Amino acid sequence: MTAVRQPEQPWPGRWASAPYAYLTTIGRRTGHPHRIEIWFATQDGRVYLLAGGRDRSDWVRNLQANPQVTVEIGDESHAGIARILEEGTAEDRLARDLLVEKYATPSNALTDWKWRSLPVVIEFPAATDEAPAASP
């Protein structure tokens, strides 16, 4: 899977085909940036993630303490607000479906991961399609 930028589409949809994103949270104990590489999907200007470790994942604990995050995809970096999706809602199902649709293979349907993971959405307030923040 290679990243193909679709310049006619707004952020983050123009990077929907990228194989992964980088998520930076602020450490809940240290206050220092914590950056991870993660699978993602996009729809309607939002980024969706699944935490296989659920709320035991450090990045999830960090965003629970401070929902302000940075998402890097391709050569763009944007500040966003993350939240855990409520289980059983339409957006919960959407997040799970989008990620499995993107990453499942004929030999690995990701069914267990789809249903045991914790879904997270990142929203990008204000005019997110204006000049992106510089990547570090």
pLDDT tens digits, 94-103: 999 999 999 9
- Residue 55 CA to its chain's centroid (Å): 15
8 Å CB contact between 120 and 64: no
80 lies in some domain? yes
131 lies in some domain? no
> Has residue 7 got a pLDDT over 90?
no
One-letter identity of residue 44: D
Domain count for the chain:
1
Please provide residue 37's backbone torsions phi and psi, each rounded to the nearest 5 degrees. -95, 135
Residue 127 is predicted with a pLDDT of: 47
CATH number of the domain where residue 76 is located: 2.30.110.10
Residue 131 is predicted with a pLDDT of: 47
9 lies in some domain? no
Q: Which residues pair with 84 in a beta bridge?
A: 120
135 lies in some domain? no
Residue 117 is predicted with a pLDDT of: 96
Domain hosting residue 36, numbered range: 20-121
Q: In what order do the strands lie in the sheet with 68-73?
A: 33-38, 21-26, 68-73, 76-84, 118-123, 46-51, 41-43
Residue 95 token pair:
């997040």
70 lies in some domain? yes
> Has residue 43 got a pLDDT over 80?
yes
